Amino acid sequence: MSEPNPQTDARPAGEAGPADPDLDPEGESGPRDRPALLTATPDADAVYDKIRTLAVLAGFLGLLVTLIAVELLVRI
């Protein structure tokens, strides 16, 4: 069965090739890929602010839906 993503940087475990110190025995990418990922990770405070904003908006939306449902039930 072929691999679904031929663009991956990890070799299959059984594939022969030149020894690469950046690859571990399971074929996963090494630590050279991690610094770029860490720089793209947002700060915890920024994530907390965004989650809090989403929670407040979800609360208002829930209140609005509840009020509309109560209004419809009262009219019946």
pTM over 0.85: no
Q: Express each pLDDT in 45-57 by its tens digit.
A: 989 999 999 999 9
Cα–Cα distance for residue pair 1/45, rounded to 1 Å: 44
Share of the chain above pLDDT 70, in %: 50
Assess contact for 25 and 13: CB atoms under 8 A: yes
Assess contact for 46 and 62: CB atoms under 8 A: no
How crowded is residue 2: how many other Cβ atoms within 10 Å of its Cβ?
A: 5
Q: What is the pLDDT of residue 59?
A: 98
Residues 48, 63, 73: CA angle, nearest 5 degrees: 160
Q: What is the pLDDT of residue 43?
A: 87
Assess contact for 21 and 30: CB atoms under 8 A: yes
What residues in the chain have per-residue pLDDT under 70?
Answer: 1-37
Q: What is the pLDDT of residue 60?
A: 98
